[in-house]
Amino acid sequence: MAGWIIAAALAGAALGAGASDRLAPLPPYGTAYTPTTVDERGLWQQADEAERDLRDSPAVVRDPALNAYLTKVLCRSVGEDRCRGVRIYVVRAPVFNASMTPNGMMVVYTGALLRLRDEAELAALLGHEFGHFEMRHTLASFRRGRTIGDIIAWTSVLSPYSTLPASLIQLHFSYNRAQEAEADLMGLRYLAAAGYRPLAASRIWERLMAEQDATALGRKRHVTHRYSAGFFADHPTELARATYLREAAGADGERGDDSRDAFLTAMRPWRASFLADQIKLNDFGGSEYLLGELAGGQWTPDLLLTRGELYRERGNPRDLVSAAQFYQQAIDAGCTDPIAWRGLGLSLLRGQQEAAGRAALKTYLERAPQASDRAAMAMLIGEGGVQ
């Protein structure tokens, strides 16, 4: 229970003295730390090298509007003085993660953006990473040293994303449970000070637990959540984090702004791409949960299209029937993406509905005359090619 005791103690420390329902004020801002020792200067040089490599990486999303939005949310969260020296890089990878290096480089993965629901949750994520930065946890982690096992483990997580520079992966730091809890609670203080809804921080972890359950069930594994982490774990459990963040938010947890509309507007141009990346994870249970949670009972054309892709990729006989239904529902709901007709045609053909399948594929080629798979689809249509 050591990890849970530490987290609970830190949650208590985050509350104002004598006021269980108010978060403590933010600490005074100090100027950015300057490296002094040989080890520190070496760490800064590694971070600078990783940032130079990342600038040229095809994994980076370079959309000015998206990057400006994230910077605006960070500055509102931690203050203009704190955020002035931060450079944010959005990295195309469908995993829930973000990180920050001691030279001021913050990396946010698109898988995290897909799983957030509003601006308050985004502020909680960015504030957590800035908390590590402000409390110099990266420096402490560097001094403690990283094992080859840490690097191998992180490399295996990101191995499908080969466009990420090796220098960034090697710069990964493993914080201990106390540091993670400190950063969680510092992020919560930023959240409250900026006028965002404090409960946003705990809700992220509640949904991540549910997604992990769905992934485990989809892979026929046992589902369990514990307050205490294993002896070698370097993070508090999701259950512990959700609990102490909710308790620290106190009676004012529901008060504040979530800016949901602004968040959805900023993410709308990218959601289809982020959803397509999610399907490539080969995680049927987790992806199905995520799509349902995003829909919230209102299945939009892009979510129906993605659900069709998910079921078609798994490809069981019943899945093909469901996939065809989802594609058709997406089309009926106003979907204009030619991929909907491609998926519908392939699902129907594999389900032995050849005439309907060929008709759908013909519509696909009419809507996407420059499709890279035109020759293959024309062969499936079986009409000697499509002019």
CA 145 to chain centre: 27
Q: What is the pLDDT of residues 3-51, one digit of tens each?
A: 434 444 444 444 433 333 446 777 777 666 677 777 777 778 888 898 9
Q: What is the pLDDT of residue 328?
A: 98
> Are residue 76 and residue 206 in the same domain, yes or no?
yes
Q: What is the mean pLDDT of residues 143-153?
A: 49
The mean predicted confidence, pLDDT, of the chain is 84
Does 106 share its domain with 238?
yes
Are residue 326 and residue 226 in the same domain, yes or no? Answer: no
pLDDT mean over 321-346: 98
Q: What is residue 10's predicted lDDT score, i.e. its pLDDT? A: 46
Can you tell me the mean pLDDT for 157-186? 72
Supply the range of the domain harboring residue 335. Answer: 299-381
- In CATH, what number is assigned to the domain containing residue 361? 1.25.40.10
Tell me, yes or no, whether 321 and 245 share the same domain: no
Which of 252, 270, 290 marks a domain boundary? 252
Structural domain contains residue 290: no
pLDDT for the residue numbered 71? 97
CA torsion sign for 193, 195, 197, 200 is: negative
Domain assignment present for 279: no
Residues 225 and 312 in one domain: no
Cα separations in angstroms, 326 against 40, 219, 261, 362? 54, 23, 27, 19
Name the domain count of the chain.
2
Flag whether 267 is in a domain.
no
Express each pLDDT in 57-81 by its tens digit.
Answer: 999 999 999 999 999 999 999 999 9
CB-based burial of residue 348 (10 Å sphere; 0-12 exposed, 13-18 middle, 19+ buried)?
A: buried
Q: Given this model, what pLDDT does residue 183 score? A: 92
Amino acid 45: pLDDT: 86
Residue 260 lies in a domain: no
In a domain, 114, yes or no: yes
Nearest to 176 by CA among 188, 164, 184: 184
Of the chain, the percentage scoring pLDDT greater than 70 comes to 79
What is the rounded average pLDDT of the residues 354-359?
96
Does position 276 have pLDDT exceeding 90, yes or no?
A: yes
Sheet with 60-61, edge to edge strand ranges: 60-61, 87-91, 105-109, 98-100
246 and 325 share a domain? Answer: no
Instruction: Please say which residue of 235, 252, 269 terminates a domain.
Output: 252
303 and 248, same structural domain? no
Residue 231 lies in a domain: yes
Same domain, 246 and 313: no
Note whether 313 and 238 are same-domain residues.
Answer: no
Q: Of 197, 219, 252, which residue constitutes the final position of a domain? A: 252
Q: Tell me whether residue 278 is exposed, middle or buried, using C-beta atoms within 10 angstroms of its C-beta: 0 to 12, 13 to 18, 19 or more.
A: buried
Residues 184 and 38 in one domain: yes
Q: What is the reported pLDDT for 60?
A: 95
Tens digits of per-residue pLDDT, 302-318?
999 999 999 999 999 99
Quick check: 292 pLDDT over 90? yes
Lowest mean pLDDT among 149-158, 174-183, 199-208: 149-158
What integer pLDDT is reported at residue 32 of this predicted model? Answer: 64
Give yes or no for residue 191 having a pLDDT over 90: yes
In the chain, the amino acid numbered 346 is L
pLDDT digits (tens, 9 = 90+) for 220-235: 888 765 544 443 344 5
Residue 219 lies in a domain: yes
CA distance linking residue 15 with residue 287, whole number of Å: 37
Is 386 domain-assigned?
no
User: Are residue 195 and residue 327 in the same domain, yes or no?
Assistant: no
More confidently predicted of 387 and 353: 353
| Distance separating the N- and C-terminal Cα atoms of the chain | 69
Q: Is the pLDDT of residue 142 over 70?
A: no
Residues 237 and 332 in one domain: no
